[in-house]
Amino acid sequence: MLALSSHLRYFICCKPIDMRKGFDGLAGIVRDEMKQNPLDGGVYIFLNKSLTHIKLLYWDGDGFALFYKRLEKGRYAMPAHCGVSKLLARDALLMLLEGLSIDNMIKKKRYKLQ
């Protein structure tokens, strides 16, 4: 089961992905294009060209887990100024999943343990 913990790192792939790709195809994109290790415990986020489908790929220690969602109406908001991939905060991912634009997010100061 995928729990969206604040202890995980979330990376969004900034180029549209063919949603027919499965575990191995998405892990290949993480490794070859995003230059990350898909086995490092991060959550990797993929959107299709029309921004109506999202996949989250996660290595949970003994295998990959895949979350897939198709919107019936509306579109997801791809972050602006995104190169190949972008590190997202957990809050930004939750906003993305709820249909909010993460580029317009204004977050107030909070304590952060260094």
pLDDT band for position 36 (50/70/90)? very high
Secondary structure class of 25 (helix, strand, coil): helix
Secondary structure class of 24 (helix, strand, coil): helix
pLDDT band for position 105 (50/70/90)? low
Phi, psi of 31 (to 5 degrees): -75, -50
Closest among 6, 90, 93, 7 to 46, alpha carbons compared: 93
Q: How far apart are CA 91 and CA 4, in angstroms?
A: 9
Helices and strands per DSSP (H, E), number in the chain: 2, 5
Q: What is the pTM of this model?
A: 0.87
